[in-house]
Structure 1
Amino acid sequence: MASEITYAEVRIKNESNSSVTYSGSPAAPREKPTRHLSKPGSLLVPFTSLMVLLLLLAITFLVAFIIYFQKYSQFLEEKKAIKGITHEELNCIKNVSLMEAPGIRQRVLSLEIDLCILAPKEKSWSCCPKDWKPFGSHCYWVTTHTSTDSAASWNESEKKCFSMGAHLLVIHSKEEQDFITGILNSRAAYFIGLWDSGHRQWQWVSQTPYNESATFWHKDEPSSDDEKCVIINRRMNSKWGWNDIRCSEKQQSVCQMKKIHL
């Protein structure tokens, strides 16, 4: 039996490496990524805001510097004026330290010698001008109601104190309030160095912070926005206290200065 031979038609397609089939139309070019550029106007707004902010900060700094410079200049002038004031008579008290006690003196003698080489000798006398009352670290002078020219407005009273190297009374504590009221005439009223700088913002002439816990207002005082200066007085059937009045009114006053150390 003859074997059957099957022939399969094999179609071989030779593709040349160099042949390229082109389509009828050229390939579309690739799209380049587009960059979204900000418009100039969109950058102008934050830049303008930043410049305005910097300008406001510069103006604020300049104003603060001018105010500070004026206050510092005034302080130097006042200090210079005070240095030129001399008091003819002083009442002085010797400051006694613990080292002056006999038992302690011997034990610290060698140490004291060494300290004297390193530091200047401490001033041992604290003084107040004649007719001024000492208390704590300050001296106090009270105008007398018997004098015809002692009553003055708040501004005039402050100028009078300043001419003596002092300022109107600044009360720091209840102990100081009690001391002052103990040397005042209960039938008179006295200006103190407290005034309203505006909108009930109370300030001391010495720039000492106004402490609400160390105030001694009479009941229902302060009472009026038109009354910007403060007196200390004693009301009928009442204790000593503070009362706001008009600065132009004429009253007695209390001056205060730091003790002089010699």
Structure 2
Amino acid sequence: MASEITYAEVKFKNESNSSHNYSESPAAPREKRIHHLSKPGSPSLPFTSLLVLFLLLSITFLVAFIIYFQKYSQLLEEKKAIKSITHNELNCTKIFSPMEDKVWSCCPKDWKALGSHCYFMSTNKASWNKSKENCSHRGAHLVVIHSQEQEDFITGILKPRDAYFIGLSDPGHRQWQWVDQTPYNESATFWHRGEPSSDNEQCVIINHRIGTGWGWNDILCSVEQPSVCQMKKIYL
């Protein structure tokens, strides 16, 4: 009986010591786990790069589309303007094209054909701006000359006693410009000797001088002269 009490006391003592020792001993430090995680909602670096690339591609595509749409709209307007002009008679020539079986290339009556263009000598005298407007009403523009072949062809249909406006003018500082916005090439010009001669004379005529033949001369834009119109051939 006594041994059982002693066992009970020993057992109690051991539990008390164990409990005391546990409470007095410092708690073992816990390892802190650091997780390198992105904040919720913030995209990762590769995703951000892809997003920026996508935006740049989208902007590039949008700009290209706007430019293409503007050029396409301009082309449609030109075609619409040509269709709205009625020519009573056309002189047509049948040609063979690798793209199509048969094509008729036409110029309006009284127009002269060279290459892919038609040319018309207008005898109505008007200022350069009015002459430009008159050609526009015909679906054309004042003639643009870029070669000796054109120069010779055009002068061959003109009257030597008259002078004719062409599509060359100077908006200022002797920066000559063609009406169709094609580049002005110094090596393909046909000025008379000594011309151009005055900063105030900003429009150009083609005329014939005795002894030197045909050439270009700058004159005042307000002077009234005949003119030469040019348009692309009509294909049927």
Mapping for residues 50-129 of structure 1, pairs under 5 Å: 77-96=77-96, 121-129=100-108
Offset at residue 77 of structure 1 (A): 4.7
Q: Provide the secondary structure at the position in 1 that maps to 2:230.
A: strand
Q: Distance in 2 between matches of 1:79 and 1:247?
A: 30
Q: Deviations over 1:79-129 (max 9, x none)?
A: 5323311212100011146xxxxxxxxxxxxxxxxx9xxxx6355211000
Q: Provide the secondary structure at the position in 2 that maps to 1:151.
A: strand
Rate the CA distance shift 1:201–1:122 in 2: closer, same or farther, 3 A: farther
Structure 1: stretches of 5+ with no match in the other structure:
1-67, 98-114, 145-149
Q: Distance in 2 between matches of 1:255 and 1:219?
A: 25
Rate the CA distance shift 1:200–1:237 in 2: closer, same or farther, 3 A: same
Q: Provide the secondary structure at the position in 2 that maps to 1:210.
A: coil
Residue identity in the other structure for 2:84: G
Is residue 203 of structure 2 the alignment partner of residue 229 of structure 1?
Answer: yes
Q: Distance in 1 between matches of 2:78 and 2:95?
A: 28
In structure 2, the residue matched to 1:253 is 227
In structure 1, the residue matched to 2:19 is none
Residue identity in the other structure for 1:207: Q
Q: Distance in 1 between matches of 2:135 and 2:101?
A: 29
Aligned residues: 168
In structure 1, the residue matched to 2:119 is 140
In structure 1, the residue matched to 2:157 is 183
CA contact (8 A) 1:168 1:253 kept: yes
Q: TM-score, normalised by structure 2?
A: 0.66
CA contact (8 A) 1:123 1:261 kept: no
Is residue 125 of structure 2 the alignment partner of residue 151 of structure 1?
Answer: yes
CA contact (8 A) 2:96 2:102 kept: no
- Identify the match of residue 130 of structure 1 among 86, 109, 115: 109
Q: Provide the secondary structure at the position in 2 that maps to 1:243.
A: strand
Residue identity in the other structure for 2:91: N
Q: Distance in 2 between matches of 1:84 and 1:123?
A: 25
Larger CA deviation: 83-92 vs 252-261: 83-92
Q: What value does the CA root-mean-square deviation take over the aligned residues?
A: 2.3
Q: Provide the secondary structure at the position in 1 that maps to 2:129.
A: helix
Instruction: Tell me which stretches of 4 or more aligned residues in structure 1 moved more than 3 Å.
Output: 71-80
Q: By percentage of residues, which structure has more strand?
A: 2
Rate the CA distance shift 1:137–1:194 in 2: closer, same or farther, 3 A: same
Q: Distance in 2 between matches of 1:160 and 1:122?
A: 36
Q: TM-score, normalised by structure 1?
A: 0.60
In structure 2, the residue matched to 1:193 is 167
Structure 2: stretches of 5+ with no match in the other structure:
1-66
Q: Provide the secondary structure at the position in 2 that maps to 1:87.
A: coil
Q: Distance in 1 between matches of 2:171 and 2:113?
A: 30
CA contact (8 A) 2:91 2:109 kept: yes
CA contact (8 A) 2:94 2:102 kept: no
